[in-house]
Amino acid sequence: MANDGVNGPVNTGRRRFLTATTSVVGAVGAGFVAVPFIKSWNPSARAKLAGAPVTADISGLQEGQRLILEWRGQPIWIVRRSKAVLDALPTLDGNLRDPNSENKEQQPDYISGETRSIKPEVSVLVGLCTHLGCSPEMAAEIKPEPYDPDWKGGYFCPCHKSRFDMSGRVYQGVPAPTNLVVPPHYYADDNTIVVGVDPQGAA
């Protein structure tokens, strides 16, 4: 009983100390866990910029060349087409699934015709096949190809053999169901394209 009288207060003090210490350590630990969890609620800098417009200087873009940008995590192809390619576009209508771009989900309302562009010589496309999202290869030259002996220039997806012309219009009889997407864009001046924003006054 004497020992109880001596050790009782000591044990109680230790218990209080250990309880307090455990609570503090637990609270600190919870704090460390909570910080990344709370931070995960905030969008990252990359996420904030993901939907922002991107600007490109195309003054040095030569015929047959392609400039690749990234917008919303997607590759954007800006291609300067030759006169020969532009002249060939109307001759392909009979080979295409949607030659008049009637599927309005694939391009803004201000994009129409066989060029599917604001300026005929400059094409702006999302570089993802509309079948399974692969990235097609560009074959801009008018010359026979293994997949088409009468090739007039365009894009070929080696994954599943889908083909598109130089305006991104899909051929008939391939897995891709629709034309390549034309993103919203406008010209800030003769040599500057802004991708991700419609022109002023566009519907």
Q: Would you kindly state where each structural domain of the chain is located, as residue ranges?
A: 1-42, 52-195
Q: What is the pLDDT along the chain (203 residues), one digit of tens a residue?
A: 444 444 444 455 555 555 555 554 444 444 444 444 433 344 445 544 557 999 999 999 999 999 999 999 999 999 999 999 999 999 999 999 999 999 999 999 999 899 999 999 999 999 999 998 889 999 999 999 999 999 999 999 988 899 999 999 999 999 999 999 999 999 999 999 999 999 986 65
DSSP string, 144-165: -BTTBTT--SEEEETTTTEEEE
What is the SS3 assignment for 6?
helix
Identify whether the C-beta of residue 167 lies closer than 8 Å to the C-beta of residue 89: yes
What is the SS3 assignment for 125?
strand
CATH number for the 52-195 domain, one of 3.40.50.720, 2.60.120.10, 2.102.10.10, 3.40.50.180?
Answer: 2.102.10.10
Half-sphere exposure (Cβ direction) of 84: Cα atoms closer than 13 Å? 10
